[in-house]
Structure 1
Amino acid sequence: MNTANLKSYSQNTLTGEVFVEGPVSTANLEKMSMNEGLTSFRPADRQKEALLKITELPEGMIYVARIGQEIIGYLTFHYPSKYSRWSKHPRVLELGGIEVSSSWRKKGIGTALLQKAFTNPIVEEYIIVAIEFCWHWDLRGSGLSLLAYHRMLISAFRKVGLTKRATDDPDILEDPANVLAARIGKNVSEEDSLLFENMLLENKKGLLM
């Protein structure tokens, strides 16, 4: 995938200057360390290994928020899992993990990562899907209820054009709080857009959400 070489930008917080940049190369990511609070999906050291693997994928992209060489937040793009319904679509790219260290939340870093990632013109060539499973949400650390966390995600996604979509995908239906959000790029063909719309409700019976 031809990923743009996007310059980093910084934002000031009450506790320091955070640089938000990407896509990050494998070589640059190897030089960085992971903040110990990045444990939503797996321990921090194993999460770095997972990020490195994504940078080696043809379509893989990693965006990071960092202080010095320490990563305090990240966002990933990759093709959907081969077991996912969305892997059957030729123009779907998944916004995978997005995480901010527990000690750096509520400072706008997650929003900054999203906004940075969606300045890349490559997103206009794809249908971007974000699949959010509620069992990964840090409700205790965030202090939010399940419903409030759900609303927070929807609001953050909306800022970059990702909107919640109704679907009968069994993975999403496993819990009412799960979220599928999507954004159709400006250069996606009408044929691919229609295919995606048809894939949302494959049982053809419709679904109210």
Structure 2
Amino acid sequence: MEHRKTYNAKELKTTYGDLIIEGPVSPDKLAGLEFHEDLKAFRPSHQQHQALIGIAHLGDGRIIIARDRNTVVGYATYLYPDPLERWSEGKIDNLIELGAIEVIPKYRSCSVGKNLLIVSMMDDAMEDYIIITTEYYWHWDLKGTGLNVWEYRKIMEKMMNAGGLEWYATDDPEICSHPANCLMVRFGKRITNESVQKFDRLRFMNRFMY
């Protein structure tokens, strides 16, 4: 199921200069931009750049970026859940995952992550989706930020709230393995009750197995 994608953009003023927050960006546009070397939370920056170009090629892959002139300094990715995760087992074709948000350290106190989410949700097509994100404390940059698990969780949750994502309970074993881990969800305005019920069965798969 492929939905339309409507490009949106806004200017974000920071103490280090103005940034453009925009997307979804095309693979060609993304390929023509520089990718900041500090975007390396998941893999070396040049490899992450190529990975994002690959996601942008997918039918429902979406990349929202923050750029300083011609250099990407932050991004958010949206794509279908990994086939190995429980969230793909319900075969809900209008469920996508906020896969990653990364911002270089220089801009982390400038509300870049929050604005990546705000621009993401400017697209009316997002009202056709259930959007999820699974947050695991072992992915968080606790060392780089100097925050403890609960301080980081509070900041992360506030950022997600800016995009309309809210905490939802689940019996997923990986999420339940630590109390700071969480599932956050946004239901688009055009999501049907049937889709909500399907998703609820995914959230509590262990309950529905018996």
TM-score (normalised: structure 1): 0.93
**Structure 1: distance between partners of 2:162 and 2:56:** 25
Q: Which residue of 2 aligns with 1:101?
A: 104
**Structure 1: distance between partners of 2:78 and 2:23:** 11
**Structure 1: distance between partners of 2:206 and 2:189:** 28
Residues 34, 70 of structure 1: 8 Å contact kept:
yes
Q: Which residue of 1 aligns with 2:47?
A: 46
Question: Could you list the per-position Cα deviations for residues 105-155 of structure 1 after superposition, in whole angstroms to 9, with x for gaps in the alignment?
Answer: 110111110100011112111110011121111112222111100111111
Identity in percent? 35
Q: Which residue of 2 aligns with 1:113?
A: 116
Change (3 A) 1:195 1:2: closer
Q: Which residue of 2 aligns with 1:22?
A: 23
Match of 1:135 among 138, 142, 150: 138
Any idea what SS the aligned residue of 1:152 has?
helix
Q: Which residue of 1 aligns with 2:70?
A: 69
Residues 21, 64 of structure 1: 8 Å contact kept:
yes
Structure 2 counterpart of 1:23, which letter? P
**Structure 2: distance between partners of 1:62 and 1:109:** 14
Q: Which residue of 1 aligns with 2:3?
A: 2
Structure 1's unaligned 5+ residue stretches are: none
Residues 40, 137 of structure 1: 8 Å contact kept:
no
Structure 2's unaligned 5+ residue stretches are: none
Q: Which residue of 1 aligns with 2:127?
A: 124
Q: Which residue of 2 aligns with 1:196?
A: 199
Q: Does 1:165 align with 2:168?
A: yes
Give aligned pairs, total: 205
**Structure 2: distance between partners of 1:68 and 1:127:** 33
**Structure 1: distance between partners of 2:52 and 2:177:** 27
Residues 24, 55 of structure 1: 8 Å contact kept:
yes
TM-score (normalised: structure 2): 0.93
Deviates more, 1:114-123 or 1:84-93: 84-93
Any idea what SS the aligned residue of 2:118 has?
helix
